[in-house]
Amino acid sequence: MEPTAANADLQRAAKDHLWLHFTRHGVYRDHDVPVIVKGEGAYIWDSNGRRYLDGLAGLFVSQLGHGRTELADAAAKQAKELAFMPLWSYAHPSAIELADKVASHAPGGLNRVFFTSGGGEAVETAWKLAKNYFKLTGKPMKHKVISRTIAYHGTTQGALSITGLPLLKQQFEPLVPSTFRVPNTNAYRAAEMTGGLLDGSDPEAFGRWAADQIAVAIENEGPDTVAAVFLEPVQNAGGCFPPPPGYFQRVREICDEYDVLMVSDEVICAFGRLGHMFGAERFGYEPDIITCAKGITSGYAPLGAMIAQDRLMEPFLEDGAMFAHGYTFGGHPVSTAVGLANLAIFEEERILEHVRDNEGAFRSTLERLLDLPIVGDVRGEGFFYGIELVKDKATRETFTDEECERILFGAVSKGLFAEGLYCRADDRGDPVVQLAPPLICDQSHFDEMEQVLRVVLDKAYALL
């Protein structure tokens, strides 16, 4: 960091008072905390004036990029007019209008929008709704949740219980009981996952197998006890696992057969990330509930939502009935006003079309990296990609824990930032680099990402 007095004060205060999220604070005993001070378009700047390409849209959030005055103005206008009103028995216009807008985009009968402050709260809300709905409709034992291995669904105790990452959970056990894991759709590791039964060369067969594991889990737990299955359209943790063809159609059949609610956790995949308003639309399925957040405001204010099928609200429309659940800041007027302005820009600037028109170019630019010996797999959809790193491409041998520390977090993560690319190295499954740039990016940004990755990954391989 530049040794100016202001920077020194910021560093001191950051180190003494700010508790960062998911951060090894020990790292900052001898190093500066990176401080990001400004954003414009697809770029961010740190307090030293260095520029970085925002290859992760913040955290899968900044769909329209940084520095959009229209969104800042929408927030200011709303704050001046009505800064706060909760959605507890009262409504306010921007929440009503955004609910109407979101419902108009959501598939089929997904017409009821319950706002939250973020994604984890949306996941909590969906689980509570599933339990409450079945209690009111004569199946009071249905309460359990099935989700997929390595999937991330949030940090609150219910959402964390649904999360399939044991290392994230162990410090907080016991969590909310009654959640169970089934395999994800990691086609690159199909042989290991299926015990050699399938090798991933027949995607339909692998998808059928993976979906059928949900039916097996429901049978094992007892269909009368299972309320919901939570799945992302493209699973993020583990490095972008798209669904094999037919996967979600088979999951839909299973959910219908066992009367289990299908929850599409679209906290990342909604609002253009996959070139559609909702990921479910991209893959042609209609869930019972969608959870979303992040891109709904492009990050100019915090907001999340649970979108439910009409039939799930019906029991709550009876006299005296109530879904006894809510958040003070869920559907905050400033956030919903920003959400409306955000979706208006999506239409004006044809953001979904832009992603669909450019996703092929993004894919083929990243696939150029497959010539590097350390790049095992490049996978994803839309503007959402994971690059899996391997020690040996032929055997698909992955890194040891020591190599993850030294190569992934040492060389790759630090190297990318030093070379001007902000993105994420992740070892929650096998080691991956995750890319999810703002949806306004074009070929020049794709090339920049590829060039930085090529330099850094090449150097990293030499250290293996």
Please state, in angstroms and rounded to a whole number, the distance separating the CA atoms of residues 347 and 343: 6
Find the binding residues for ligand PLP in span 294-353 (CB under 6 A): 304
Of 180-188, 263-271, 328-336, 374-382: span binding ligand PLP (CB under 6 A): 263-271
- Indicate the residue among 374 and 439 with the shorter CB distance to ligand PLP: 439
Of 48-56, 96-104, 152-160, 354-362: span binding ligand PLP (CB under 6 A): 152-160
Find the binding residues for ligand PLP in span 112-141 (CB under 6 A): 118-120, 123
* Site pattern 218..247 for ligand PLP (x: CB under 6 A): --------------x---x-----------
Please state, in angstroms and rounded to a whole number, the distance separating the CA atoms of residues 10 and 1: 10
Q: Which of 75, 98, 99, 268 binds ligand PLP (CB under 6 A)?
A: 268
- Indicate the residue among 122 and 375 with the shorter CB distance to ligand PLP: 122
CA torsion 170-174-178-181 (nearest 10°) is 10
Please state, in angstroms and rounded to a whole number, the distance separating the CA atoms of residues 152 and 85: 31
Question: b or e along 398-437 (b: 16 or more beta carbons within 10 Å of the residue's beta carbon)?
Answer: bbeeebbebbbbebbbebbbebebbbbbbbbbbbbbbbbb
3 state SS of 398: coil
Please state, in angstroms and rounded to a whole number, the distance separating the CA atoms of residues 60 and 240: 13
61 binds ligand PLP (CB under 6 A): no
Please state, in angstroms and rounded to a whole number, the distance separating the CA atoms of residues 423 and 403: 19
Angle at 284 (CA atoms; ends 104, 191), nearest 5 degrees? 140
43 binds ligand PLP (CB under 6 A): no
State the pairing for strand pair 375-381/384-389. antiparallel
Q: Encoding tokens for residue 172?
A: 């907080």
Q: CA-based Rg of the chain, rounded to a whole angstrom?
A: 22
* Site pattern 154..193 for ligand PLP (x: CB under 6 A): x---------------------------------------
- Indicate the residue among 295 and 376 with the shorter CB distance to ligand PLP: 295
380 binds ligand PLP (CB under 6 A): no
Q: Which of 87, 129, 251, 267 binds ligand PLP (CB under 6 A)?
A: 267
Of 12-20, 79-87, 138-146, 264-272: span binding ligand PLP (CB under 6 A): 264-272
Q: How many helices (H) and strands (E) does the chain have?
A: 17, 15
265 binds ligand PLP (CB under 6 A): yes
- Indicate the residue among 269 and 457 with the shorter CB distance to ligand PLP: 269
Helix %, strand %, coil % of the chain (to 5): 45, 15, 40
Shortest distance, position 420 Cβ to ligand PLP, whole Å? 24
Residue nearest ligand PLP, CB atom distance: 119
Residues that bind ligand PLP (CB under 6 A): 118-120, 123, 152-154, 232, 236, 265, 267-268, 293, 304
